[in-house]
Structure 1
């Protein structure tokens, strides 16, 4: 059933006040948070990306941590807030002590991408919206130059990223700065959503900002190639000490990395066996490769054109919202709208952006269609719609926004980890299989295809960064330490993807330690929590109640989630 019910209003506490001030501090230090949260003001600015800006951030972290520790919790909601915020702030200090911000460069989620990515979230409905975009384009060169200054300090302190990441990001900069790149297209295609032309003065500002931003990315590319690359690290792995920090950052939990690696190997083998069984159902005697060939060739599973893709996504999403809202979840009317869109970029990914804190901007599922791709198959992506939409990210992040009466802004919109969010989304995929939504063999094979990839990432990521011995795979014998070549071979043997995409994935894992495993490890923790609750409650266990209680917490680290749901410790 649908519901407009919101929790009974809870009086704000001193802990809530600390958390709210922390959010205000984040927005003040980095106005990109204002765009993410949907806050008015400062939406045309960047924060200080220089080393001095980082020092100001760490000073704010220490002050907030001291204040938080001196403030007693008033209730159970406060205890969750304090535990989670304290863990996050303390980890920031550990990162600073290892100077890891000085090597913050990778192919997917570093300032090199984030300074541009923010434009994807900026509204374009009115001239005022486009004026904000023009202002941010004008401010971008200083932000890029500050980032270069930070990386230069890394060179001085001998804290540098790996050569592979530097080379790849330099190529990304060249594309963004090119004549057909993002910034040129942004200014060229500018118009209000209504289709009304923008004023000549505003168009001139947009074009000038576009040119300045292209020049800034050209400077960044030159710095990367000429200054950073010659001194960048030869090794892709970051080592056990740094990796442990990254793992905790993305999980919000401490796990036994060696045990998790062995579990990952077991998961890969289990997924492969499940896929083989499904292939037999699709065609007796068929290999997994043969089953995939049949699915890809099936006209009933094909979509022609991006418009057809978007309509298919929207229809599947709408059905999930309607049906799950009547059975296993309480879905408020305010988040029953999920927009499916084709992204303005062409990287090939599918991703979700949360609703604004005031729920004016709805949650959105985006498909970044590669240039030249016009035909799509549905069997792989049915599970992806559930992952990104309902019961995945949209239900999780949208529900947090709904709980304004109970949760402070930090808990609703900022707290949480990849392990919590992506672990939930993978849990949601398996749940949809349990509920019969992936009963058709092709759709189930698609789910297993993705789950096997996530399990392989656990093995590759931990193995490569911790320097473990390579276990071998179909195309490469065991022996030696994990490296890029071995990671590529292992991944290609365990996924059905274009090699160019797999190469990017490997670069992503090597440059963003701990993030890729957080999906599957997070799923493991979510499933373990559900199993333990069911064991403790016996016949009184309610799946719907478990989901409601878990999602009502908002974003938290997985250690905080365990404490809140099981009550094992304070």
Structure 2
């Protein structure tokens, strides 16, 4: 059953904006056609975004399903020109003051394009208007890039449901030589422009490329995905066998040689890799970091102020954790050391075995189901999602550089479920008491809940339905962790509450280390030592996290800054409404119209009636 469309939801979220009952409502402002046209023109430049979101032209063998983005220098120039033209095309679109929903959507669209164009004059790296990582300075890293994102999407998101879809999938595999030649050309052009990735990131990227090149073609994750998914789609057995043959040939003759060429390029760059961890060392690095702080953290604050906020939050959360640890008789050593001891207690770990990993996944699935049963306490009934959530292990080929957990949203048509991925590379890094919070963040009531509500906005323009606002989305994920605690999820689980606080501490530390490296010239080793000592999180996870922040400058700021802003908006709304305040009303206001800048969320709250 489809949820309420955007107009009906907006009316519930902002009743003060409704016309009197006797008045005839004005006709809706016609913004969908021009905004959809803008989206269509942009998606022609980024077909992989279309595939990830399940856009019609990329589904079941559509024209966008057969090719990668053009990552070459010329392709990047054309993409940036298309983004600038999109902003120009949007500028004359306007709506009257009576159509509040249309004006909200236009403002959201303008912010999408403003974020995309803000750093366009800085030639290196890759801009993605529809991705949470913003303007990444390095196209190829250990955590993202066409060498990771494209195979992952082909394994999990790209349709293999029909013979036409399979043909498009194989055509994409056949296109790897030309596409990755463009990737190599772009990497070289960026180096010529003075942008050289840190050596640590290049070194971490090589094993990711090696994993794609390892093993027999018939056992490759891409071929295994083709085999499993076409079987699940019940395609003709003879067709499936021939398709697998074709795909293995394409992998052997075209895709793997393309990866091998990219590996040679990255290996040759390794001796020239920068020693400095931060963006400040790159050309115009300070300007790019400031642009990313605004786009990804939704903040005009200077890096020094964000750094100070992080330090203050670290002190506050550490004090709360110290009290809980003392209550358990753990009083010696730093907060990090005491949490590390708890995390390595065998009683708090799953077995480092296939059975232990299966038990962990079952435990997490149970946490998700339990919170789904409490949706009526979180949302008005009209907003409660019905889309399923899958919990899966991050693929072995990419787990070394991947974060502890992340979420992939469902396709726009709802046919592909949302997926909560969890990293099981190091079972000593996945303490049981940390899993509830991770599940509330990635699943329910966090990213899955927010994404499914946004998915239901079938009346919203496509441009908005594929939008990403990092501080809104990650801020909501961190807010969801606190919400679970407010709902009593940890009432009988004091260790789980410590895990929640440890994760919040982790996000506060991000404010310190991200600004530390990119603006205050901290070294990679200094950032690792600070995060490890303060949080007590396993070394393997800390190293992967710090290197993630090196690859995605400012992205990690959105979690804590977004949460702080959402709590400020909620507190102001509760104060204004007094005893009439219902927390579900706040959640509907935040979620009902999809991702947007937090200033727009605050503006909606300001229009609600007070006491």
Q: Which category of TM-score, normalised to the shorter sequence, fits these structures?
A: 0.7 to 0.9
Structure 1 83/252 Cα, relative in aligned 2: closer, same or farther at 3 Å? farther
Structure 2 partner of 1:470 = none
Whole-angstrom CA distance in 2 between matches of 1:317 and 1:26: 36
> Contact 2:324–2:498 (CA<8 Å) still a contact in 1?
yes
Give how far 1:140 is off.
2.3
Aligned to 2:74: 52
Per the alignment, in what secondary structure is the counterpart of residue 72 of structure 1?
coil
The yes-or-no answer on 1:84 pairing with 2:136 is no
CA offsets per residue over residues 442-489 of structure 1, 9 Å max, x none?
A: 11011111111111111011011112xxxxxxxxxxxxx521221111
| 1:418 matches 2:470 | yes
Kindly indicate whether the alpha-carbon contact (under 8 Å) linking 1:176 and 1:182 is maintained by their aligned counterparts in 2.
Answer: no
Relative to structure 1, is the Cα distance of residues 109 and 300 closer, same or farther in structure 2, using a 3 angstrom cutoff?
A: closer
- Please give the residue correspondences for 1:396-545 in structure 2 after superposition, counting only pairs within 5 Å: 396-405=450-459, 407-412=460-465, 414-439=466-491, 440-467=493-520, 482-545=522-585
> Partner of 1:97 in structure 2?
121
Contact persistence 2:298–2:598 (CA under 8 A): yes
Aligned pair partner of 1:63 in 66, 85, 88: 85
Q: 2: CA distance between counterparts of 1:327 and 1:461?
A: 32
Give the Cα–Cα distance (whole angstroms) in 1 for the partners of residues 374 and 74 of structure 2. Answer: 52
Query: Aligned pair in 2 of structure 1 residues 43, 182: CA closer, same or farther (>3 Å)?
Result: farther
Match of 1:477 in 2: none
Q: Give a deviation string over 1:293-316, Cα, whole Å, max 9, x none.
A: 456546487474333222222221
1:378 is the counterpart of 2:414: no
Instruction: Specify the SS of the correspondent of 1:351.
Output: strand
Q: Is the contact made by 2:340 and 2:537 (CA closer than 8 Å) also made in structure 1?
A: no
Greater mean deviation of Cα atoms: 135-144 or 260-269:
135-144
- Judge conservation of contact 1:15–1:78 (CA < 8 Å) in 2: yes
- 8 Å Cα contact 1:488-1:506 kept in structure 2: yes
- Which TM-score applies when normalising by structure 2? 0.82
Shift, 1:126, TM fit = 5.7
2:369 is matched with: 318
How far is the alpha carbon of 1:182 from its aligned partner? 11
Aligned twin of 1:29: 45
Q: Which has the higher contact order (CA 8 A, sep 6+)?
A: 2
Return closer, same or farther for 1:242/1:290 CA change in 2, 3 Å cut-off.
closer
Change (3 A) 1:262 1:326: closer
CA distance in 2, matches of 1:436, 1:271: 19
Q: Secondary structure at the match of 2:148?
A: helix
- Which whole-Å CA distance do the structure 2 matches of 1:558 and 1:168 have between them? 35
- Aligned counterparts of 1:252 and 1:18: Cα–Cα separation in 2: 26
Counterpart check, 1:169 vs 2:185 = no
Identify if the C-alpha distance between structure 1 residues 94 and 230 changes in structure 2 by more than 3 Å, giving closer, same or farther: farther
Superposed displacement of residue 343, structure 1: 3.5
Q: Which moved more, 1:348-357 or 1:180-189?
A: 180-189
In structure 2, what is the equivalent of residue 217 of structure 1? 259
The TM-score with structure 1 as length reference comes to 0.88
Change (3 A) 1:222 1:567: farther
* Deviation of 1:432 (Å): 0.8
| Distance of 2:69 and 2:411 partners within structure 1 | 20
Computed over aligned residues only, the root mean square deviation of the Cα atoms, in angstroms, reads: 2.9
- Residue by residue over 1:115-174, the C-alpha shift from the partner in whole angstroms, topping out at 9 and shown as x without a partner, is 333223224556555444322222223221111111222233223333332332233222
Query: Is residue 282 of structure 1 aligned with residue 331 of structure 2?
Result: no
Report the alpha carbon displacement of residue 45 of structure 1 after superposing the two structures with TM.
Answer: 1.7
Is 2:340–2:538's contact at 8 Å kept on the other side of the alignment?
no
Alignment of 1:111-126 (within 5 A): 111-119=146-154, 120-124=156-160
Contact 1:306 1:374 in 2 (8 A): no
Count of residue pairs brought into register by the alignment? 550
Deviation at 1:398, TM superposition (A): 0.5
- Residues 274-309 of structure 1 show CA distances to partners (whole Å, capped at 9, x for unaligned) of 111121233464665456645654648747433322
Q: Secondary structure at the match of 1:43?
A: helix
Q: Which runs of 5+ in 1 are unaligned?
A: 468-480
